[in-house]
Amino acid sequence: MCETMNKSRTVCKIISNELLTDQIFEMILECPEIVNEAKPGQFVNLYCRHLGRLLPRPISVCELNKDKGHLHLIYAIMGNGTKEFSTYNAGETIDVMGPLGNGYNTDTVSDIHLIVGGGVGTPPMVELCKQLKGRKIIVVGFRDNPYLVNRLKEYGEVYVTTDDGSAGFKGNVVEFLEKKSLKGSIYACGPTPMLIGVQAYADKYNLDASLSLEERMGCGFGACVGCVTKIASNNDAGFIYKKVCKDGPVFNAKEVLFSCN
């Protein structure tokens, strides 16, 4: 059954579309309506021009420039859709729907914020760090070739981990958290194995944590029911299904039931 959706596509001008590092691009769009409404942790749907690629590609909000009405998006080339996006040029247009989903709560009384990003889960942390008040400890992990580090340093203390040890701490973000015994309200975005580790870390030290989940999305706004995840409940089954695109992607870590749980 389809659900009512009050969002529609907006034709946005591409200001720039540049390579940041290997297979990672930053696209800046002029779309003041979306920028004025968007919040950290939300995402937008980008639509391909190729008629054989009907499904949109969800891309997280990286940064918002409300003065210029510019939306910063960072994406990795993962398939034909994102590969097509990488060929778009400044001055051209792209169809965008958004903002979509529910983001992070930035109205928090915590004095210390522990920001944890992994790979393509790092970009959403830029706008989050801009809007959070208080001390920010930012831990970001990559296989290699870190990016956005200097931008994040404008808002807090940044620590980098890499799988191969080519930059920063050799290992993953959870290993770094344990090594440094870092504490604070956690905001995390990254691959599922990382989120499982962050969830366990938060539980171990009784820390509040918000996780932005990664799931393959079809429509991106709750109609196709293609991105459901288990959320703890008091019913007989012990869980209910919620849609990552519409009810999330950000959930309280205490509620999320990963498949390995």
Give the pLDDT of residue 175: 98
Give the pLDDT of residue 5: 47
For the chain, give the mean pLDDT.
93
Tokens of 127: 């706008």
More confident residue, 110 or 153: 153
Give the chain's domains with CATH numbers.
10-100 (2.40.30.10), 112-257 (3.40.50.80)
Neighbours of 32 (CB within 10 A): 16
Give the pLDDT of residue 6: 55
Give the pLDDT of residue 226: 80
Instruction: Summarize pLDDT for 126-185 with one digit per residue, the tens.
Output: 999 999 999 999 999 999 999 999 999 999 999 999 999 999 999 999 999 999 999 999
Which range, of 1-10, 40-49, 193-202, 235-244, averages the lowest pLDDT?
1-10
Instruction: Summarize pLDDT for 195-246 with one digit per residue, the tens.
Output: 999 999 999 999 999 999 987 777 777 778 788 999 999 999 999 999 999 9
Band of pLDDT at residue 1, cut at 50, 70 and 90? very low
Mean pLDDT of 54-65: 96
Give the pLDDT of residue 2: 31
DSSP string covering 135-198, please? EEEEEEEESSS--SHHHHTTTSEEEEEETTSSSSEES-HHHHHHHHT--SEEEEES-HHHHHHH
Mean pLDDT of 49-54: 92
Cα angle 34, 131, 119; round to 5: 80
Give the pLDDT of residue 189: 98
Give the pLDDT of residue 95: 98
Band of pLDDT at residue 4, cut at 50, 70 and 90? very low
Distance of CA 220 to the CA centre of its chain: 14
The residues near 54 (Cβ < 8 Å, ≥ 6 apart) are: none
Band of pLDDT at residue 108, cut at 50, 70 and 90? confident
Give the pLDDT of residue 220: 78
| Alpha carbons 149 and 69: distance in angstroms, whole number | 24
Give the pLDDT of residue 215: 79
Q: In angstroms, what CA-CA distances link 181 with 157, 177, 190, 205?
A: 15, 6, 20, 9
pLDDT at 47 over 50: yes
Distance of CA 63 to the CA centre of its chain: 11
Band of pLDDT at residue 259, cut at 50, 70 and 90? confident
| Alpha carbons 231 and 74: distance in angstroms, whole number | 29
